């Protein structure tokens, strides 16, 4: 992946920075292939680029400016000229970077099994104040108490609010029985908005092969499957899903006494995209370290920022344990309540009923406090 030259070394003080905000184009063409871009420019001038509602690209400042001018309708030569003039930088050097960026973007347009997120260039980890919205909203559908739950129309309003806020990515977690049949309709709505969508499942929601094909056709972008490696029936279903065009991450409970070698070889052969693990008692366990090394040898990533499934208690969502409030991922309960992930999740308000800007201001207040 190109890291893109930091031509801002050539920058001059009077250059007007691109305003933080949300920029979009739905009518771009690569040859005869249409594509759409949504760009979120952060206060620190990095960016998040959503491509075809399929993947989110995290951009450094260089790549962000290229994407901005592309959305404004410029071709690669025009983009190089614009940036060269802005920064008094050598046009030939910039043109090479623009061509590299455009080639990378083209690869994503035609690539199958796209990952939900990718980093382009050297990205600085932003402070909480340097993001205008979360990177992802984890939406929990299954109620665990008698509280009211959102219906399909209300979930659509929530997704519209997420899109308008600049949140590029939603995860659908624990789709309960009453809404399983509505899942294709929800996914179509998410796709039409331009959001990247993921489904967290233990396979119980995936009723049959025809249903899987239907939700893929409706725009589902990636799967996080929770399964026990000892369950041969689940393994067979997972291997079948891997034959389809969707990025798939398998999350398994780690068992130091289980021999993973056989199922790993089957998963590698079928093209598994990523792994995640739960129930890790000791990250320095020699068996776990060997398993990680085996996965790395095959060039496969291990995700550590995915939402858990199956809520034990609405107010005790099992987020990663740390003492720092993290605004990059927020959670939404089945009744629309918005939570900040932490050891003790903080209820901010109700996304269906309240204004997003007020809710986000509250989130930032908590992160500063």
Each residue's pLDDT tens digit, 113-169:
888 998 887 776 766 667 899 999 999 987 665 567 899 999 999 999 999 999 999
Segment 345-361 shows an average pLDDT of 94
Kindly tell me if the per-residue pLDDT of 213 is higher than 90.
yes
| Spatial distance between the Cα atoms of 265 and 181, rounded to a whole number of angstroms | 34
| Spatial distance between the Cα atoms of 30 and 215, rounded to a whole number of angstroms | 27
**How many residues are given for the chain?**
369
Maximum CA pair distance of the chain? 64
Higher pLDDT, 255 or 341: 255
Name all domains of the chain by residue range, CATH numbers in brackets: 7-120 (no CATH), 133-368 (3.20.20.70)
pLDDT at 307 (0 to 100)? 85
Residue 316 pLDDT grade (very low, low, confident, very high; cuts 50, 70, 90)? very low
CB-facing half-sphere around the CA of 244: CA atoms within 13 A:
21
pLDDT at 128 (0 to 100)? 60
Contact indicator for 199, 168 with CB cutoff of 8 Å: no
pLDDT at 311 (0 to 100)? 47
**Angle of CA points 230, 297, 242, to nearest 5°:** 50
Segment 93-120 shows an average pLDDT of 88
> Phi, psi at residue 35, to the nearest 5°?
-150, 160
Segment 75-100 shows an average pLDDT of 90
Tokens 């400042």 belong to residue: 61
pLDDT at 317 (0 to 100)? 43
| Spatial distance between the Cα atoms of 295 and 250, rounded to a whole number of angstroms | 12
Please, what is the average pLDDT of the chain?
86
Q: What are the DSSP E strand ranges found in the chain?
A: 21-30, 33-41, 47-51, 55-59, 117-120, 136-140, 169-173, 196-201, 222-226, 247-253, 274-278, 301-302, 329-332, 337-340, 346-350
| Spatial distance between the Cα atoms of 354 and 360, rounded to a whole number of angstroms | 11
Segment 203-228 shows an average pLDDT of 92
Provide the 10 A C-beta neighbour count for residue 290. Answer: 12
Single out the residue of 18, 1, 22 nearest to residue 87, CA to CA.
Answer: 18
Residue 7 pLDDT grade (very low, low, confident, very high; cuts 50, 70, 90)? low
Single out the residue of 342, 341, 345, 311 nearest to residue 329, CA to CA.
Answer: 341
Q: Is residue 260 classed exposed, middle or buried when 0-12, 13-18 and 19+ CB atoms within 10 A define those classes?
A: middle
Q: What share of the chain is helix, strand, coil (3-state, %, to 5)?
A: 35, 20, 40
CA 81 to chain centre: 32
In order of 199, 203, 256, 262, 282, the CA distances from 289 in angstroms are 28, 28, 11, 17, 10
Kindly tell me if the per-residue pLDDT of 11 is higher than 60.
no
């Amino acid at each position: 992946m190109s890291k893109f030259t930091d031509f801002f070394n050539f920058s001059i003080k009077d250059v007007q920075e691109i305003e933080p905000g949300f920029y979009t184009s739905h009518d771009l063409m690569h040859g005869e292939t249409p594509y759409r871009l949504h760009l979120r420019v952060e206060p620190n001038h990095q960016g998040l680029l959503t491509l075809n509602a399929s993947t989110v690209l995290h951009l450094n400042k260089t790549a962000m400016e290229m994407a901005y001018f592309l959305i404004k309708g410029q071709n690669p030569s025009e983009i190089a000229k614009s940036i060269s003039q802005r920064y008094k930088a050598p046009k030939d050097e910039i043109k090479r970077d623009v061509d590299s960026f455009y080639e990378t973007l083209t690869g994503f347009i035609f690539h199958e099994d796209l990952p939900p997120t990718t980093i382009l260039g050297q990205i600085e980890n932003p402070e909480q104040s340097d993001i205008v919205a979360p990177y992802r909203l984890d939406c929990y559908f299954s109620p665990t108490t008698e509280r009211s739950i959102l219906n399909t129309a209300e979930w659509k309003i929530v997704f519209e609010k997420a899109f308008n806020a600049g949140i590029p990515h939603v995860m659908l977690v624990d789709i309960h029985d009453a809404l399983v049949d509505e899942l294709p309709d929800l996914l179509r709505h998410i796709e039409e908005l331009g959001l990247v969508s993921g489904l967290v499942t233990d396979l119980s929601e995936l009723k049959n092969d025809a249903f899987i094909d239907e939700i893929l056709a409706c725009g589902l972008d990636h799967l996080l499957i929770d399964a026990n490696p000892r369950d041969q029936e689940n393994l067979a279903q997972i291997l079948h899903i891997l034959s389809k065009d969707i990025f798939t991450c398998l999350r398994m409970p780690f068992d130091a006494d289980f021999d993973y070698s056989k199922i790993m070889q089957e998963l590698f052969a079928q093209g598994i995209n990523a792994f995640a693990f739960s129930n890790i008692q000791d990250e320095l366990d020699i068996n776990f370290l060997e398993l990680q090394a085996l996965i790395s040898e095959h060039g496969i990533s291990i995700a550590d920022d995915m939402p858990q499934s199956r809520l034990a208690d609405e107010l005790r969502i099992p987020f990663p344990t740390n003492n720092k409030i993290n605004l990059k991922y927020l959670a939404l309960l089945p009744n629309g309540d918005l939570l900040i992930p932490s050891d003790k999740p903080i209820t901010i308000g109700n996304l269906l009923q309240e204004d997003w800007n007020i809710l986000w201001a509250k989130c930032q207040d908590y992160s500063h406090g």
